[in-house]
Amino acid sequence: MYRQGDVLIVPVAQEALPPHVAVAPKERRDGRGRLVLALGEVTGHAHAVVGPGDLVRDPGPLGPLLLHLPQGGRVVHEEHAAIALPRGWFRVIRQREYVPGSVRIVAD
């Protein structure tokens, strides 16, 4: 398991992936060529993956992201140390915050 700020990255076995992953649309890279896992709404900073890979969003507004890194990769952020990830599949989970009557994703 890996954590960078409010982003948790959990390895997932290939056989545990949902069946839709093979045909699901991939998230686009940003203007700098990164796969953005979480964008800071206030600072504009981003938790992002550099290197080859794909990012697939599970359905639903709070659905986690599924990250595939065929050669491994690095998670970078302007205010955190980079994290090296091995090759494989990962579930990317944003930290949530309880607000009376609802739940919201934590924002930078």
Q: Indicate yes or no: pTM above 0.85.
A: no
Q: Are 26 and 36 in contact (CB under 8 A)?
A: no
Q: How many CA atoms lie within 13 A of 25 on its CB side?
A: 4
From first to last of its 108 residues, what are the pLDDT tens digits of the chain? 998 878 899 999 989 888 888 888 888 998 889 999 987 766 668 889 998 999 998 766 556 689 999 999 999 988 888 999 999 999 998 776 556 666 555 554
Closest CA relative to residue 50, chosen from 64, 65, 71, 66: 71
